[in-house]
Amino acid sequence: MTEITAHHGIFEDTKLHVEDSGGAGRPVVLIHGWPLSNASWKDQVPALQEAGHRVITYDRRGFGRSDKPKTPTSYTYNTLTEDLHTLLEELDLRDVTLVGFSMGGGEVARYFSAYGSERIHSVVFASAVPPYMLHTPGNEEGPLPASEAAKMSASLTANEERFYDGFVTDFFSVDGELKVTEAQRQEALALTEQASKVAALACMTAFGNTDFRDDLPKVDVPTLVIHGDGDGTVPFEGSGKRTHEAIAGSELHVVAGGPHGINVSHADEFNRVLLQFLGR
């Protein structure tokens, strides 16, 4: 475990909590979803280590054990992607595979526009938010209506505990049926307790309103898109399917009956597909 100073501010630095297995194999950086932490990758880290990879996870600023800036403007995708780039530089990571889950797919997409592919070997978009969540006149396929985005923000503002309880249930459900054990749901729910409310609200705005349609065509490395066909949080038709279509030569794996949280509900399938991709 270590800390990396991702941003040197005028008044304070922003430090990220990082866990690095230090293995000798090709590095894999796992970028967690909202509003969780790096602990949400617990079912993937051992499998990747066993396959010989160096595995790096970190808590996004505002979540888990990373610093939690109090200014909402600290949570734009440009800043979050700068955090990722700083991590790669500080650990001198090259020939890296980036795996972005849900909100984490946004950092993966934006990385290519901001920093190119010099350090990157391949990428994975897992249940990821690109290309553009918000339903607008110019983005009719966007799966998130503005009214629903406003409702989510209002619900989180009013009562964090109640909101997260419902959100995590939906996260792991398909058509109202929970696809994980109650113990697994509770584990994820516990991670939300580490989230800063300022960060959670600002990141909700970021993943709902950021347009990655110009970023995706710049992804010029081998790409895997993996998504559950029952995902009610980031629906496949409006996100994963479009991302696959936007990235030339990308591979697509659809998890049948998979909810949003497929890395937990379908961990064996997720790991198998991920390791097969990494092995090519």
pLDDT in tens, 40-77: 999 999 999 999 999 999 999 999 999 999 999 999 99
Active site residues: 102, 231, 260
What confidence tier does 5 reach under pLDDT thresholds 50, 70, 90? confident
Give the CATH number of domain 2-278: 3.40.50.1820
What confidence tier does 143 reach under pLDDT thresholds 50, 70, 90? very high
251-255, strands of its sheet edge to edge: 2-8, 13-20, 54-58, 27-31, 96-101, 120-126, 223-228, 251-255
What confidence tier does 11 reach under pLDDT thresholds 50, 70, 90? low
Residue 88: partners with Cβ closer than 8 Å, 6 or more residues away: 29, 96, 119
What confidence tier does 156 reach under pLDDT thresholds 50, 70, 90? very high
CA dist., res. 86 & res. 264, Å (int): 28
What is the mean pLDDT of the segment spanning 201-225? 98
Enter the pTM of the model: 0.97
Cis peptide before 235 (omega within 30 of 0): no
As a whole number, the mean pLDDT across the chain is 96
What confidence tier does 2 reach under pLDDT thresholds 50, 70, 90? confident
- Tens digits of per-residue pLDDT, 160-183? 999 999 999 999 999 999 999 999
